Amino acid sequence: MPGSPIERHGAARGALVQAAFVLALAFLVYEGAAMALAHMRAHHIPFDFGFWDERAGFDIDQHLIPYSFTSTYGRAFFVGLTNTLVVAAIGIVFASLIGFAIGAARLSPNLIVAKCAGAYVEALRNVPLLLQILFWYNAVLKALPVPRASLAFPGHVFLNNRGLFVPAPTLSPLGISLPVFHGFNFAGGARLSPEFVALTLSLILYTAAFIAEIVRAGIAGVPKGQGEAAAALGLNARQTRKYVVVPQALRLIVPPLTSQYLNLFKNSSLAVFIGYPDLVQVFAGTVLNQTGAAVPVIAVTMAVYLFVSLIVATAMNLYNRRIVGVAH
């Protein structure tokens, strides 16, 4: 019977075993940490953040905040972090736009459009992302002409083997700076390095293929009877999509979409293979090699990825609760 001496004895014994396991695990962790610290002290490996305010002594090719070789290691960390966040933000926006368009195209009644969209999805999602990054960087961007023979696009946009040159806003005075060819290169505007272009483009196209399948499945998951009911109420095709199909499809789309956003952010760390100065390449690469502070550097890098991922996941979960509430 419940609460009998035998059952109480079994529960107490189970609790005792669990407590012993926790204590043993804590002891092993403590001993491992003590041995690691002793090894680091013996080999003069730093395990604190004393290096943070020291002079870095190296340049970073692309930076959105002021930085020079006289800046500190802490400044280098923030340069790498901003470079990573910019790639992730641009990637999420354009991957979503392309993914939703391709996903809708897969359900098009036009056979050619549907087949082309399907071919895009199958081709992009079945080739490893790293290979796609190396393809765009080595086979495409490096093969572009020199600045004098740049490919020109509308809006004063130029593409060559030194990067993508685009108009940029100016703060003093307020206006737009246009890239103009001068001497052997372009002056004015903003330059997006080949590494940035290859990484961002690869992340966008690769992630869009997965988002397209999520969107297709979400739309297809809405019962056909919903559309028929909307038509019976007098809604046209556009109104049916806007007020009936899409709100219900979003409930199926948003949860897996969150995983793709997180994957895109984490996959941006592949930038190290082409030398784009993201957080991993700058902080967990150059800074770690120069300071030898492996434990604090790697710990901070891991914490940043964890923290940003939790923020993105929380925001998407809140949005999902909102659309579920609206749908009901």
- What is the pTM (predicted TM-score) of this model? 0.83
Classified as helix, coil or strand, 44 is: coil
Q: pLDDT tens digits for 124-154?
A: 999 999 999 999 999 999 999 999 999 999 9
Q: pLDDT tens digits for 7-64?
A: 666 677 778 888 888 888 888 888 776 776 776 667 666 677 889 999 999 999 888 8
- State which fold the 73-327 domain adopts: MetI-like fold (1.10.3720)
Tell me the percentage of the chain whose pLDDT exceeds 90: 56
C-alpha to C-alpha distance for 104 and 252, rounded to whole angstroms: 15
Q: Where are the domains of the chain?
A: 1-44, 73-327
Helices and strands in the chain, H and E counts: 11, 8
Least confident of 33-37, 51-55, 250-254, 281-285: 33-37
Cis upstream peptide for 173 (omega within 30°):
yes
| Long-range contacts, 297-305 (Cβ 8 Å, 24+) | 300/77, 304/81, 304/279, 305/265, 305/266, 305/269
Give residues with Cβ within 8 angstroms of 248, minimum separation 6: 222, 226, 327
C-alpha to C-alpha distance for 25 and 225, rounded to whole angstroms: 56
C-alpha to C-alpha distance for 265 and 230, rounded to whole angstroms: 39
Least confident of 225-229, 271-275, 284-288: 225-229
